Amino acid sequence: MKILSDPRKINQLIRRAKRNGKSIGFVPTMGALHAGHLSLIRQAKRDNDLAVVSIFVNPAQFGPQEDLKRYPRPLKNDLALCRKEKVDLVFIPEDKMMYPEGFVTFVNVEGLSGRLCGAARPGHFRGVTTVVTKLLNIISADVLYLGQKDAQQAVIISRMVEDLNFAVKIVVMPIVRGNNGLALSSRNVYLSKSQREEAQVLFKALHLAKLMIRHGQFNSSRIIEKMKELISRKKQAKIDYVAIVDPKSLGPLKKIGRDCLVCLAVKFGKTRLIDNLRITCG
Ligand code: PAF
């Protein structure tokens, strides 16, 4: 496994591999790898000749009041996991290599970036799309692997790839959950024992929505109301949003048709968790 931090060096290596006919699968991460990331890495290994993982805690996607400083950085463990999964290349750039002095260019996906999480985290998705653009230019992958856990991120990046003619295919892998239903996230390490227990309610709320739809309730506000009621029973839960949206436009759906995305963001103490469930009917 090669570990590189210089964008030019990894770019040269990948270009050489591509000239030799190798396909490149790319998994962008901010480290603190868990089973969710590993599922992406394994799929990248299965589908491609070379699997590339980036580990970069991207300052551009954190707001001034957010957790950039305390974001977990267990690099040794991350590298051990990558080695175990037989990742071919790991890219670990430094901040100043990605954002050198004088950096002023950003990529923004209009509209989509302001919805759902974008409303509470202004600038967040602009930071994500900017860094993913840079990473795709550096890595020039054939396939980009993303997780459904960050459903809005996957929709926004897919839109950007289409709009800006990136020659990359996107594969979105299912959410990986713990036994208690809690979606795996690098931020789960922040949760206290009681918060972790309470957070199980998020998956229950998503399932409540599924059940209500299966029983013929297609009025979103009724479902959202019941979900909020259930979540609010937990003392430490502070709801940011619960929404039922169109899976592509992320616009709110008043009436549920064939396909919808039920999504939520809830804070437990200082930790903001997101989760979602795609529900298709008929
Ligand atoms: O999902 C993440 O970990 C990040 O948003 C990403 C895609 C690696 C960009 O920094």
Residue 134's pLDDT is what? 98
What percent of the chain is predicted at pLDDT more than 90?
99
Q: Is the CB of 60 under 6 A from ligand 1?
A: no
Q: Does pLDDT of 195 surpass 80?
A: yes
Q: Which of 66, 128, 145, 274 to mutate to test the pocket of ligand 1 (most atoms within 8 A of CB)?
A: 128
Question: In the predicted model, what is the mean pLDDT of residues 16-21?
Answer: 98
- Contacts of 211 by beta carbon, 8 Å cutoff, 6+ apart: none
* Ligand 1 center to 45 CA (angstroms): 19
Structure confidence at residue 125 as a pLDDT band (50, 70, 90): very high
2-173 and 186-277: identical CATH topology = no
Residue 193's pLDDT is what? 97
Residue 281's pLDDT is what? 84
* Ligand 1 center to 175 CA (angstroms): 15
Ligand 1 atom closest to residue 56's alpha carbon, by position in its atom list: 10
CA atoms lying within 13 Å on the CB side of residue 97: 15
CA distances from 34 to 55, 144, 278 (A): 13, 18, 22
Q: Does pLDDT of 282 surpass 80?
A: no
Total-model pTM: 0.97
The identity of residue 157, as a single letter, is: I
Average model confidence (pLDDT) for the chain? 97
Residue 236's pLDDT is what? 98
DSSP 219: B
If DSSP codes are grouped into helix, strand and coil, which group holds residue 107? Answer: coil
Q: Is the CB of 62 under 6 A from ligand 1?
A: no
- Contacts of 273 by beta carbon, 8 Å cutoff, 6+ apart: 183, 185, 187, 188, 199, 202, 265, 266, 267
* Ligand 1 center to 154 CA (angstroms): 10
Has 207 been annotated as catalytic?
A: no
Structure confidence at residue 256 as a pLDDT band (50, 70, 90): very high
Residue 102 CA to residue 80 CA, distance in Å, equals 35
* Ligand 1 center to 229 CA (angstroms): 31
Q: Are 231 and 242 in contact (CB under 8 A)?
A: yes
Residues facing residue 276 across a β-bridge: 263
Q: Which of 61, 67, 129 to mutate to test the pocket of ligand 1 (most atoms within 8 A of CB)?
A: 61
Question: In the predicted model, what is the mean pLDDT of residues 65-91?
Answer: 97
Structure confidence at residue 143 as a pLDDT band (50, 70, 90): very high
Residue 35's pLDDT is what? 98
Q: Does pLDDT of 235 surpass 80?
A: yes
- Residue 158 CA from chain centroid, whole number: 12
Question: In the predicted model, what is the mean pLDDT of residues 181-206?
Answer: 97
Residue 137's pLDDT is what? 98
Q: Does pLDDT of 77 surpass 80?
A: yes
Residue nearest to atom 5 of ligand 1 (CA): 128
Q: Which CATH class is domain 186-277?
A: alpha beta
Expressed in angstroms, the distance from the first to the final Cα of the chain is 46
* Ligand 1 center to 95 CA (angstroms): 15
Ligand 1 atom closest to residue 186's alpha carbon, by position in its atom list: 3
Domain ranges in the chain are 2-173, 186-277
Question: In the predicted model, what is the mean pLDDT of residues 152-177?
Answer: 98
Q: Is the CB of 172 under 6 A from ligand 1?
A: no
Q: Does pLDDT of 10 surpass 90?
A: yes
Q: Is the CB of 29 under 6 A from ligand 1?
A: yes
Residue 147 CA to residue 171 CA, distance in Å, equals 8
Structure confidence at residue 6 as a pLDDT band (50, 70, 90): very high
Catalytic residue among 34, 37, 124, 207: 37
Q: Which CATH class is domain 2-173?
A: alpha beta
